[in-house]
Amino acid sequence: MSVEILKKQIAIITKLIKLYQMLLREILNKKVDVIIHHTATDRDRTSFEAINRGHKNRGYSQSSLGFYCAYNCLITGDGEEHWARSLDESGHATSAYKGFHIDICLCGNFMRERMSNKQIESLTKVLDRIKKKSGIKSLRGHRNYYPTLCPGQNLYNWMLENKGRFLN
């Protein structure tokens, strides 16, 4: 079997898996698990383009929106939202979590630095949007699924202090 045929078969299987995930979410009351990340890089010097390029080089699949970034939404230091995957598409950044989930990442190393006010505003808006669209079943950090410091203690503390507002 040629490599081109295998690539086409993999693309078809990937599309079927995405369709299955969307249908499963519709059946299972729509509420989603949201997983929070940080880039562990400099907050104000990390760009969406750099993350997208790095994830492409690491072999992440292209999203329905045409990006390789593994997160559904990346929030840069200036608070700008960069949507790389739709809310109907499972995030790819938490491989240890096997169910449908939304991955949100903030640029920064929140073991050392704090989130900008604009990042907090944007994160709040994104979580409110997800809550309104489908409901949030759980809000956790990457560290809850994998032995890592992600999303950094400062962001993790914010998440713990505020998650009651977003769960429904």
Q: Angle formed by the axes of helices 117-133 and 153-166, to 10°?
A: 40
The string of pLDDT tens digits covering residues 8-63 is 888 888 887 877 776 665 555 578 999 999 999 999 999 999 999 999 999 999 99
Residue that is written with structure tokens 């979590």 in the block: 97
Question: Structure pTM?
Answer: 0.82
Query: How, if at all, do strands 136-141 and 81-83 pair?
Result: unpaired
Instruction: Give the integer Cα–Cα distance in Å for 77 and 66.
Output: 23
Q: Which two tokens stand for residue 88?
A: 């109907």
Cβ atoms of 162 and 125 within 8 Å: the answer is no
pLDDT of residue 145 exceeding 80, the answer is yes
For the chain, the straight-line distance linking the first and the last C-alpha, in angstroms and rounded, comes to 49
Amino acid present at 79: G
Q: Which fold has domain 30-166?
A: Lysozyme-like (3.40.80)
Instruction: Give the integer Cα–Cα distance in Å for 137 and 79.
Output: 25
Q: Which two tokens stand for residue 46?
A: 């990390």
The string of pLDDT tens digits covering residues 92-131 is 887 767 788 999 999 999 999 999 999 999 999 999 999 9
Name the DSSP class of 144: G
Amino acid present at 166: F
